[in-house]
Amino acid sequence: MSWMDEYKRKLVPVDEAMKVVKSGDLVHYGEFVMASHVLDAALAKRTDELFGVNIRTVTCPFPPQTVLADPERKHFIYNDWHFSGASRKLHDKNLCNYISLTYHEGPSFYDRGYVPVDVAMIKVTPPDKHGFVNLGTSNSITHAVTDASKIVICEVNESVPRCLGGLRETLHVSEVDYFVEGDHKPLINLPELPISDVDKKIASIIMDQIKDGDCLQLGIGAMPNAVGAMIAQSDLKDLGVHTEMLVDSFVDMYEAGKITNRRKQLDKGKMVYTFAMGTKKLYDFLDENPFCASYPVSYTNDPATIRQQDNMICINNAVEVDLFSQVCSESSGVRHISGTGGQLDYIFGSYFSKGGLGLICLTSTYKDKDGSLKSRIVPTLTQGATVTVPRSMNYYVVTEYGIANMKARSTWERAELLINLAHPNFRDELIKEADKMGIWVATNKIQ
């Protein structure tokens, strides 16, 4: 049988494909913007007849209909490996749970049988002339999920860019059990984040650390976007990219002639990533572009891979940092807001990269719900806050007041450095709190 005949045989109406889901199954959705709202809506139609279906996803950008149809969680139990804004809001209503993950380990959980997947439901491109569908913008853990799954269902969507590899960026028709014709709607576009003057100040400090030929990893947020914008307008050249997430700012840097990937030790000439989220500009850039290479996260985020790239400059955000230099980047107290993601991977890997820098970046203050100014440099992490990067692994911390290296520093040295990075309005109080905690601080060194 030809792959085309096999494809036609497996192409079924969406409601027929959903019949394979049974009560008690573990159903895995696609990741990021490759989550299928078409398959989710069809599964939601079966709410009344299914019980205890465990749904897992990675950063689903929309609230699933299966969750909204079942507010008592009797039928569908929803879990996310890394919260999106939608998952965060569902979590606040006790409709979503977080699954702890150091990102590069993700595929191993499926390889080792820790996650026994019954049904995988993902979005893909139409088959190419060789019978391969492409996983689009989310390589990540997707192939590990489909390998582990008893049944694989694919929504075919013509709007999905064909993202070249890399490694394991495709599935052959023979690896899929059912195909469903999608609605071919464009992928979700992320809203543009406003860049503040403080973001620009932090970005300018980071810019002083970047030189020709460096290899970049950027996290999500306004401040990394500010860095990308500044690089695009700079005199830097021959930059490389080895990142977890690919965003629009990389396109801007490429179009400005700043990215060549010529000086990389691995994947020379390739812009390497594991997933992409942004706007149509990014998705169009990725489509059949041989300059870009999509890899599983077990490759892109493995510290053993990261350390092989010289001059890795890894830029990530944080919620708060305490005077012991512990970093929380994923929760506000007990309220979970994102996930560990790849931050720990890149902070650890960058330290062993020749010339590498792992930067934890945050504004020194924020305003609470009442409009009061609060410090992000705190004596101890907020009660219930998750430690994303332990103090022993923290490398550099950056605020609008400067940059400081945490490595090989005593407790009092770290406290002094961090107090100097705090907003001046909070420094005296931080000194008092450090004293209460038994951290001796030489106040004459506090600027």
Active site residue 244: yes
- Using DSSP's 3-state secondary structure scheme, residue 228 falls into helix
With 0-12 CB in 10 A as exposed, 13-18 as middle and 19+ as buried, what is 66? buried
| Residues contacting residue 330 through CB under 8 Å, at least 6 positions apart | 319, 336, 337, 338, 339, 340, 341, 386, 388
8 A C-beta contact, residue 104 and residue 345: yes
Contact 355, 310 (CB under 8 A): yes
CA atoms within 13 A on the CB side of 280: 3
For residue 46, what is the DSSP state?
T
* Angle, CA of 115, 73 and 140, to the nearest 5°: 35
Q: Which two tokens stand for residue 408?
A: 């090989």
| Measured torsion, CA atoms of residues 189, 141, 394, 382, in degrees rounded to the nearest 10 | 70
DSSP string, 360-372: EE--SEEE-TTS-
Which of 254, 63, 244 has its CA nearest to residue 138?
244
Q: How far is CA 177 from CA 111, 137, 171, 250, in A?
A: 20, 22, 11, 36
Report phi then psi at 173, rounded to 5: -50, -35
Active-site residue, selected from the candidate residues 155, 169, 244, 433 = 244
231 backbone dihedrals φ, ψ, rounded to 5°: -65, -40
| Selection from 385, 377, 386 nearest residue 406 by Cα | 377
Structure tokens at 432: 């008092």
Q: Which residues are catalytic?
A: 244
